[in-house]
Amino acid sequence: MLKKSFILVLISLLFFDCTKDKNESIEKLTHYVNPFIGTDGPGNTYPGATVPFGMVQLSPDIGIPGWDRIAGYYYQDSIISGFSHMHLTGTGAGDLYDILVMPTNSRFSKRIKENNFKPFSRFSHEKEEASPGYYSVNLLDYGIKAEVTATERTGIHKYTFPQDSVSQIHIDLGYALNWDAPTDTYIKVINNTTITGYRKSTGWAKDQRVYFQMEFSKPFKSYQLYQNDTLVKHSTKAKNTKIILNYNTRENEVIVLKTGLSTANNEGATLSLKNEAPHFNFETYKKQADSIWENQLQKIYVETKNETQKHIFYTMLYQSMLAPTLLSDYNNNYKGANDTIMKAQGYQRYDTFSLWDTYRAAHPLYTIMHPKRVSDMIQSLLAHYNETGLLPVWSMQGNETNMMIGYHAIPVIVDAYFKGINFDAQLAFQACKASAMDEARQIDIYKKLGFIPVDEAHENWSVSKTLEYAYGDWCVAQFAKALNKVEDYEYFIKRSENWKNVYDAKSSFMRPKLEDGTFIKDFIPKDYSAYFCESNAWQYFWSVQHDVNGLIKAVGGKERFEQKLDSMFTLNPLPTDKLPIFSTGMIGQYAHGNEPSHHVGYLYNYIDKPWKTQNRVRQILKTQYKNEPNGHCGNEDCGQMSSWYIFSSLGFYPVNPAEGLYQFGSPIFDKATINLENGKQFKVEAINNSKTNKYITSIMLNGQAIDRHYITHEEIINGGTLVFTMSNTPLKF
């Protein structure tokens, strides 16, 4: 019987062949991906090896803590302390870094306090390379070339050693960085080619468990096994364990090691190796990862003479598929959010749901590109509900972190339901209602007062919470209406109007309120305060995606709304203004580096000034994304920043992510073809497209002129052709 991994590769190659027939000319799209985008500046991405939505993210670690090294790696640094198997992509959370591996030899023995006296080596970007599913670097101090690749649940290392009688491979389970700390680790030597164990840790994820089995292409001649700092034999269990494997290597001798993972048990880790990495041919795994990525990237084929835009687009498409990540193993087991071992029946369990970020564009993008996988993601959200009684807020590695605000699994579920994704709708509604009716996270106060009042808590975020809850309520209401749950619909549609309770007509902003219903005094909208989640009043004012027309009316009509939008993009921060770390990608008060601003440029469509949306979207596309390490203007945030670019560059964007509508912007590609999973194609063409021709003068859908500012999800999924005619002159009407 063929191994499952090889069947997946065969399917990938068949899909790739079909795609070849559809596109006039085929080029290798993985060549356009630059995994270093976001590894400098505020992006917080990693450059290492993974496959789409995979459990393993095998990437280099600098080994020094800090905000800039949240993803383990920072482009400006000059040392590497090893390669760990799990990383977060583009977040502000310092966790994971599990199972650190570092090759060394006798050439270099220096240690430094900054990386906790771990082995390290200098490296140069001139001797470094990254592509989808592959990373390599020369460890200069040792003369060792390190290469890594990955399958879904395994990491594969290839080390090319110089001649040395003291070549070593260090496996360090006590290694920890930033928020992460081991609680219990275990290593057992099975024989001279196999070790097994686990690493349990706490940090942002309070109860993280990674079981592993590691196999080596060359037997090690001896080893030193440490329990804390004490040498032991055969096996060890402690907070801090490590093993050093000793080799005598010839010049250019290659040693391959492969690590299978599971979050449930060692049996699952062993099966990961058996099913996905049965041999030691590194090049085969590397080519397999490249083929899998090529298959996924071919789902959208863009045509343009602008090579830079192509590099950015395919890197963003790549980064949109780095999360959520696989959690279940080949026995369908995984570490559940109830801290017990659970089983995924009939689906693959995913986690790493950065929902406050990704509900806006990443998950709507998945419903177009990966509808089959979205079904598994929704079932994963529902599994979390079954395990805890609530939908996740920000979950990872079978843990609820409760980071950020709102109940944004709800719009993800409701959006998927209306787009025909397969899952248990009755269970899903039950989960949505339970999460919106919970008593925790100030929802009890919200239900009682209709808003979250100011209190003295750190990061009170009262206004932002009110707005995010109100949007989630609208989503529950639409779900209830579709399921003919009339009382629930009426209750939640009423709650969805709670945004009005924090709108202050005098200042024309959403304004913090005291518990007695009075607005706070001394309110300055551009100030960053504890009342707004990683934003100010300018940036959160527009977070009424479900009732933009109501917001327009509240402000005083379309003209006043237009003036306020214009001010949003032109009221520049003063040199004396103190901008927090998350306030980046600034255009006036608009902050593209953080998610609450992401839909704002499209709001001109709602007041029949689409040319202003077209101008702003082009400005953001041009100024906030670059094909360089410092290419993200803010945290990439598990695919959200990337998904904004993908949608916007194609010419449309989901302002209300659960509505099934995409507002038109301004496409930057001459042609784009979306190869849908249902076998159909949706094509986007931009006639007379150029840098200056950014305004749309006409729109044709399947040969018929349309005069609206949006396209529906159904129109995309049914296939067809959307044609924009572009001009350098706005079409005002």
What is residue 354's three-state secondary structure?
strand
Average pLDDT, stretch 386-402? 98
Confidence bin at 52 (pLDDT 50/70/90): very high
Name the more confident of 26 and 514. 514
State the DSSP string of 240-286.
SEEEEEEEEE-TTEEEEEEEEEESS-HHHHHHHHHHH--S--HHHHH
User: Please, what is the Cα angle at 673 between 370 and 43, to 5 degrees?
Assistant: 60
Query: CA–CA separation, 205 vs 320, rounded Å?
Result: 22
**CB-based contacts of 702, cutoff 8 Å, min separation 6:** 720, 721
Across the chain, mean pLDDT equals: 95
Query: CA–CA separation, 623 vs 1, rounded Å?
Result: 52
- pLDDT higher than 90, residue 25: no
- For the chain, the structural domain boundaries read 4-297, 329-440
* Domain range 329-440, CATH architecture: Up-down Bundle (1.20)
Confidence bin at 118 (pLDDT 50/70/90): very high
Q: Output the pLDDT for position 622.
A: 98
What is the separation of C-alpha 699 from the centre of its chain, rounded to a whole number of angstroms? 32
- pLDDT higher than 80, residue 23: no
> If you search the block for the tokens 């499209």, which residue do you land on?
602
Q: Output the pLDDT for position 371.
A: 98
Q: What tens digit of pLDDT does each residue of 164-204 get?
A: 999 999 999 999 999 999 999 999 999 999 999 999 999 99
Confidence bin at 395 (pLDDT 50/70/90): very high
Give the residue from 491, 498, 586, 576 showing the smallest Cα distance to 538. Answer: 586
Query: CA–CA separation, 296 vs 300, rounded Å?
Result: 8
Average pLDDT, stretch 309-315? 98
Query: Which residues are 260's β-sheet partners?
Result: 154, 213
CB 118 within 8 A of CB 82: yes
Average pLDDT, stretch 458-474? 94
CATH class of 4-297: mainly beta
Cβ count near 733 (within 10 Å): 8
Query: CA–CA separation, 369 vs 372, rounded Å?
Result: 9
Two tokens, residue 477: 């209401």
Q: Output the pLDDT for position 732.
A: 85
Q: Output the pLDDT for position 19.
A: 44
Supply the pTM of this predicted model.
0.95
High-pLDDT (> 90) share of the chain, %: 94
Q: Output the pLDDT for position 638.
A: 98
Element (H, E) at 128: strand 128-131
**Beta strand ranges found along 573-694 (DSSP E):** 586-587, 590-591, 652-653, 661-664, 671-675, 681-687
CB 122 within 8 A of CB 79: yes
Name the more confident of 710 and 16. 710
Confidence bin at 645 (pLDDT 50/70/90): very high
- pLDDT higher than 50, residue 16: no
Cis peptide before 324 (omega within 30 of 0): yes
